[in-house]
Amino acid sequence: MTSSDGQIILGRHWPYVGRLLNLRVDKIRLPNGNTVTREIVETRNSVCVAALDGFGNVILVKQYRQAVGEFLLELPAGGIESNEKPLDAACRELEEETGFVAKHITFEFFFWATPGISTEGMYAYSAEDLELHGQLNQDDENIEVVHVSLDDVRYLISTGKIRDGKTIALLNLILLKKS
């Protein structure tokens, strides 16, 4: 099997198949003739949402992330369920994690979350005209909703208080559009 970039896939196996992700190991021959092994995390695509309230704030969530061992300040985000459209997932995640429903939601861009090791693509949205309905956290989530002024966002990013990649990317776009 040959990939679109001229690599030849010599072998492929899945040493781990899980509920949320699979680990795939590909043995490939590069166009230069070298043979290498690549470990790939297969997972579903996801969404993130920059929700702006009517007071010049963005709605962030603070939650503990076991993989990095710390609390992160980030945009509401989550996986797209099977047979769910990205827009529907964005609306669902916004309400589940923050309790807000948006009357206006706009697709901003698509990006690869960690293309060196993962198949995950992420759809980024902005949302406005918010109405509070109430948080719908899942049993495995402990989320604190945080309202941050757009004026403070640049400072929080530049000082490392916001360190989540999707959040930095989408908030920088929002700031660029607002300037």
The answer to whether the predicted template modeling score (pTM) of the entire model surpasses 0.85 is: yes
Q: pLDDT exceeding 90 applies to what percent of the chain?
A: 87
pLDDT band at 141 (very low <50, low <70, confident <90, very high): low
Q: Read off the pLDDT of residues 44-87 as tens digits, 9 standing for 90 and up.
A: 999 999 999 999 999 999 999 999 999 999 999 999 999 999 99
How far apart are alpha carbons 14 and 78 in whole angstroms? 24
17 contact partners, CB below 8 Å, separation of at least 6: 23
**Where in the chain are the domains?**
8-43, 46-178
Topology, domain 46-178: Nucleoside Triphosphate Pyrophosphohydrolase (3.90.79)
Q: Read off the pLDDT of residues 126-137 as tens digits, 9 standing for 90 and up.
A: 999 999 987 665
Task: Tell the residue number behind the tokens 């985000």, with chain if given.
Answer: 77
Confidence check: pLDDT of 5 > 70:
no
Confidence check: pLDDT of 17 > 80:
yes
